[in-house]
Structure 1
């Protein structure tokens, strides 16, 4: 499943907090959930979120205990060897699916690679590993999920910022509320961007005026490449373990096993 390595992303993506300028959000975590939402709403309004968006996003909101249960299970590290992990993630069916996607979107992938410098094989490997090319993006309401995690005191600062970014996505009208759904830690779309990454790296590659990482394949592929390019990807250079590009991939996922698996997957698509 796409959720296996979500926990390693939070440290890798912590630097994107700079997208939300000004002092950190500081609604008091724990305690009464409704009081927390009321305090957060005031801070969100002070940072430019409209009252209409706040009312829409938080209407009838309650905490989700299943999200907290999942979050507690994500502590720890990989237990499998790289060989065992890669075998479960890069099987023949998945490789064949990825090859079909490369053929179907060949022209688009060439444009993305030309503009951003990231190999199309790696982009498709990420796309396939994360959600099987959009087939499994998660079904949880993102604002409820993030509000639950922000209310919990374990990583409240991180998730308060992600919750604010989710409201920004709604305010920008990139996604309507009914489409603002995703995974157990608030990831959105076909390559599972946290909301702050959605804001910072999202690219309107289909030119319709919105960044849609759920339904627009051009936006998905370009945004994925843009994240790597922005963080120092070296065009035309290798990305196997020990290279600079392999280190750039830490901004996607800190797990060495995961990154090695992405490289291995990309090799199968050449």
Structure 2
């Protein structure tokens, strides 16, 4: 009987991840990212981020009923903050709308839902490495 010997568990996953990072370099370079920048960005990225995998698996957007999710995220205060941000960032929102054709209200809604208008950036306890996170999800 022939037995195929392959590393099991995380070691195999890490090897597959490292292979993905190495092979994705060509795609990045072809898209205009310099090889040196890619290499620098991925220099210490050697394995998937298990926290990111768990967060992706349990995202409330996909695990909670839609109306429950929206009821928890959209309320008088979030609308008021959105209106304040629309006034504060009006010149930038004008430019983005003119250049890219993206409606300011869509941008504000995404900004609110994804980062609470940047407030999440102050939470070092939950912030993750962006490059490693994107590679993990890739």
What are the equivalent positions in structure 2 for 1:7-46 lying under 5 Å apart?
30=13, 32-33=15-16, 36=19, 39-40=22-23, 43-44=26-27
> What is the distance in 2 between the residues matched to 1:102 and 1:76?
24
TM-score, length basis structure 2: 0.59
Gaps of 5+ in 2: 1-11
**Alignment length, in residue pairs?**
120
Relative to structure 1, the CA distance from residue 67 to residue 104 in structure 2 (aligned partners, 3 Å threshold; closer, same or farther) is: closer
Name the residue aligned to 1:88: 72
> What is the distance in 1 between the residues matched to 2:111 and 2:41?
28
1:52 pairs with one of 14, 18, 36: 36
Relative to structure 1, the CA distance from residue 57 to residue 98 in structure 2 (aligned partners, 3 Å threshold; closer, same or farther) is: same
Aligned alpha-carbon RMSD (Å): 3.7
Q: Which has the larger radius of gyration?
A: 2
Gaps of 5+ in 1: 1-28, 150-158, 160-270
TM-score, length basis structure 1: 0.35
Name the structure with the higher helix share: 2
Higher relative contact order (CA 8 A, sep 6+): 2
Name the residue aligned to 1:100: 84
CA contact (8 A) 2:18 2:46 kept: no
2:128 pairs with one of 126, 135, 140: 140
CA contact (8 A) 1:41 1:54 kept: no
